[in-house]
């Protein structure tokens, strides 16, 4: 259906069947496909400040990940391998034989696995502000332990029972921190809060964290098979992850470019869209 928005003149939202679920997907533009995978606590609208510029030269495909937005409220499948299979099935359902993949936060592990396993499908990959399982290279970032919310979210049933009724305040903390106090546009904030409101919505969101050990094993197993990232890859770091992801990825990538955006919070596409576009445009061209 058409979406009333100034994001892109031809932007539409569609429900697309993929890997046994229905995904809510924003589509805009024409040309070589670019698949955008968001993180927590986001929806496809985390890309709202870069979507229209990218759609000038590309077919932009920005789904809500499994379990979010208007998609299927899936009970399971929040590990990286299943999410990668979701992305692969989505591209097939949309008739795309290849795509560049750009991922942020929770979208990074499935994007990495997809590019690792399907270099015929993924032309190139951009990975931002996340870690890849327990791979070496992130020791400095993890010197004080993982971020506090990882443990909080990982305990089955705890975080959703505590936070139900307080979702807006909780999401706002991540949005403020992730933009170094600048915040995000109100309509985007409201969309995020709506997507994460209710005990079931929170449970689905925290399932990503509860599956992190499984995702880490899947990443390690793929590398233990001797697989390498053979497609051109780019990492984009900001605060707090910095260059940790680049350091993790470098031993396994044939062609890797790493960038650090100064004075930029974790939610790179909303906080510093111009800087991000300055990196994406030449890399995707």
Mean pLDDT along residues 141-159: 96
C-alpha 186/C-alpha 180 separation (Å) is: 16
C-alpha 196/C-alpha 171 separation (Å) is: 8
Residue carrying the six token digits 């992130």: 138
**pLDDT, tens only, 194-215:** 999 999 999 999 999 999 999 9
Mean pLDDT along residues 135-154: 96
Whole-number percent of the chain with pLDDT over 70: 98
**pLDDT, tens only, 38-94:** 999 999 999 999 999 999 999 999 999 999 888 999 999 999 999 999 999 999 999
Task: Give which of 138, 128, 105, 238 is closest to 180, Cα–Cα.
Answer: 238
Q: In whole angstroms, what separates CA 220 from the centre of its chain?
A: 20
Mean pLDDT along residues 178-192: 97
Span of 6-10, 102-106, 232-236 with lowest mean pLDDT? 6-10
**pLDDT, tens only, 251-275:** 999 999 999 999 999 999 999 999 9
Instruction: Tell me what pLDDT residue 5 has.
Output: 44
> 102 by DSSP, 3-state: which?
strand
């Amino acid at each position: 259906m058409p979406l009333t928005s100034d994001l892109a003149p031809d932007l539409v939202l569609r429900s697309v069947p993929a890997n046994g679920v229905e995904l809510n997907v924003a589509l805009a533009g024409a040309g070589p496909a670019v698949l955008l995978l968001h993180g927590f606590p986001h929806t496809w609208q985390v890309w709202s400040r870069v979507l229209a510029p990218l759609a000038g030269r590309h077919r932009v495909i920005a789904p809500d990940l499994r379990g979010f937005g208007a998609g299927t409220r899936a009970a399971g499948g929040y590990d990286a391998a299943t999410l990668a299979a979701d992305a692969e099935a989505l591209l097939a359902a949309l008739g795309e034989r290849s795509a560049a993949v750009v991922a942020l936060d929770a979208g990074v592990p499935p994007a990495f696995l997809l590019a690792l396993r399907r270099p015929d499908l993924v032309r190139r990959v951009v990975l931002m502000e996340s870690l890849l399982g327990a791979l070496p290279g992130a020791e400095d970032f993890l010197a004080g332990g993982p971020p506090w919310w990882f443990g909080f979210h990982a305990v089955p049933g705890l975080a959703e029972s505590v936070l139900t009724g307080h979702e807006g305040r909780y999401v706002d903390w991540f949005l403020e921190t992730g933009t170094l106090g600048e915040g995000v546009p109100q309509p985007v904030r409201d969309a995020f809060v709506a997507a994460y409101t209710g005990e079931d919505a929170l449970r689905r969101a925290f399932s990503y964290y509860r599956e992190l050990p499984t995702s880490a094993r899947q990443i390690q197993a793929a590398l233990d098979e001797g697989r390498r990232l053979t497609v051109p890859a780019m990492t984009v770091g900001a605060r707090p992850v910095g260059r940790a992801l680049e350091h993790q990825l470098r031993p396994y990538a044939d062609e890797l470019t790493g960038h650090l955006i100064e004075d930029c919070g974790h939610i790179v596409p909303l906080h510093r869209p111009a800087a991000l576009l300055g990196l994406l445009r030449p890399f995707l061209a």
